[in-house]
Structure 1
């Protein structure tokens, strides 16, 4: 089944961009009647900080200017003079070597028109523009303008009294807010986390080496460089260059995801919180799994590889070797594609920036894939020690298929948790995983077979060892369902313990008493004169579950949370609709208006507005008088968290 990876990438980008809750520019329009046939049209935009929009009249040879399309001009009406602009800024750009003109904070355009037909009462105007930060996004804004006063402004809204009141209530009057800045040191794990992700990517690359799409290419490619490039020194040099280009290609594949971050720093994290995107990834991973099982091949068009291979022969030199590296990436896609898909999915569940994680993981993958080509070029005698291609490579692929299948249900679980469907409760999820790993055990023992398995042979030592590991893991899961062991090794992957088929005393982590409404929890804190542990969390937040199951459960930490603090847990990814009486329009200080219709929208906006943060987990200690007691923390170890809780009690 031939799919265009590029097309899929573009579609996913468009979907991600559509998930952003806040547009970088919010447009409105106004109409002023000058006479019976003349009108002044005004188009204006509130622009987010650090974003800018190019002028209609920015210098030629520079970035693309904004452009209006006045539909019906010359037939229904005519333009009177040129479009006038509000305040603009000019800056020299070295890229185009011209002075570019642009708007920031606010864009205003004014255009006078004169009707040619007196019965015209509505006109349509389309604005084409690009809005930029670190990357430019092409946008289109359509204005349907009424000239008779029935709809003077279709975008700008005025808040009703109830929305004004609820907007004010969502903004806290926090004291000692500067203490939040101390959180800089609490994320010191981020650098080490990148190395962990790099290691996982490296492991994925090593696994890919032992698949049928890659392994047979190693001796062929190394032999080409060592025997067909004249001198041994030149062969080694070309092989090292080939390895470098492999790493570079996989590194470059991760860079577009940094463009998502420049559009919205949380845009890739919507993978872990958007219901239908999780369902999409569930389907994709099932698709990957069955390709590894041998029911079909997942390949890119053969013409791509043929053209690149031909180009490498024609061009020669370093550029030719670069084309050879791209050819390797394409012809091995049927094996590496699902592994890279797993890497993409896994990095969205890891701590830190998704784009940075993905770059670290992809680079690690490329290094592992390139390493044998470089090492065997340096030490060609090692080629004799390589195992021969055979059925063991099929075993590797099928085993990966089972792992892809298990990961697929993690994404379906995310959708179930966020959507409150109640389909994959903790026990159901674990039973599905038990079935998957029991089937893997049966396959490794030769009792279950797939289409591309060869004739039955005596089980190898490696296959027997893997079957034992798979069986023991199945037993571990069974003990977890029976609540004999707490499954801490899997913290964050299964649904939380309180999301159970069995009736629970509380829907809070570890049986704690928590409040899921800030106003309610604040009232209790005032009544009991206790400080607040404010927990910004998410149903699909893996690190939140790890903190709850590994840190909060600590015998020193648990009683402090239970007895000394009022726990308020706010789920920022909850897609459940608020009651109609609690839905409202929230207005930012800059004038932008946002609809608050779901629980997650309310508490996500609450976190951003009051604490200037959009990450989870995110913990804040507050007094009942809304005094920030100490710095905020995120994903930290037990000792750090314990000392943090104690420091909050000392400042009470």
Structure 2
């Protein structure tokens, strides 16, 4: 072996390491068959190359690729023609790949029940420049996503974050946290995004109904002592954090079981929507004066103590309700941060959820610490009775929104089921007000009412839930079978993306859900307007909707490729090229979208 070769090997772990190559894979257009192929796109960073699939010398490691998918068999990969390049340091002509190149892998067999979304590949390579060769390495590639970091040529989001930030962090995040200065800096930035996104979440459409509760609570507390205000603020914060931690625990459990978790996923569950309808209806009935939420006691001192505790308990559950209603919306900055958190280890997941919770709670904490802000509110008086009823109407409007979601998902039968649940809640509220007024002993009556309510809900769901779920699935499958939607939109599918990419079409993708209020706001303000449609048509842009109302593997993969954990999420594929995906912020304008189109 020459002296030059020894010098190269001695520098294998030189700190001037090449960043992992960008990598993406997709199937050729059309129905999957023996005639199909997988195309793997590899982009090597500037001033570097990798050895070809045939090594020019025994000490060099040749490139190779492995691929697997459920129900699909693959043939031998077809590699591009290698570049012959004389290396003065190595003193021989090497065979290399550099820049952008493609590997074609033929499909040899397709079994019944195959799942192309499980396609995974691993590209093994050894990187070299003109003076050193690094230790062999590999990069994993999943269908519908970009692997690697330092995505050259990709536009940054409007919030300043690179669309590849989440993927970049995956190279530095381990089970114990973040490694390296670059990973720590990127993690700190995303953690700040989670905090900032939590603050902005207070202004998102989904949270506004519960903000009416909090506004009314703040007005009532205007005359409280500073100590009392601080206790109420901390109780609200505790409710917010507890809910975020419960959600984080559910996400961690789903991930541990191999499932797909996402921000706002609970709104895909009919049971959760029913729970929210019951809670909001009960709150509205309380605001109308039908019954009063309180903790009973047998003496005046105990009643005072109960009232004090009730205020803290009410603040806690108001905080919890804020979280439950805020999760169907993804705020600016929050989507990018949570997109990484949902792919990270469990401790990192809890850390990011805590940061988002503190952001959501921060305005209430500040009011508690600086009570002078409450002086802008008028003193409590008779006018608050009217305001309280207005708040009740707003909460019932939220219940109406939930019924609209149910109608979109399951039709009239589903609405009838939920109307029955809501009416049962109203009856229960009147019964509670009649049999359990404040200041009376009502232990026996409460037990009867609670047992009756549980029996009613259980029997209702035992009879109707199977029919509801079957109807919901049938309607959703029918929706997914539609390729062309109203207004010139196409239903998203990786196969359709591949077809339009083959035709050289630029694609705009809207990942949405029926239960996402921010999505609906963007649709009303921008995406459904004639101005937007004409702008897209004149630019020759294909518009696609990815429906996440119910969980689907295809949309899960799409969101993961965008570095997002929930909806809304928007992306542009210039000329259908998924490797140059441009991710847009959660709040849109027509001008912003047009500026992002190359």
Short-chain TM bin: 0.3 to 0.5
Name the structure, 1 or 2, with higher relative contact order (CA <8 Å, separation 6+): 2
Please give the TM-score of this superposition, normalised by the length of structure 1.
0.43
TM normalised by structure 2 equals 0.46
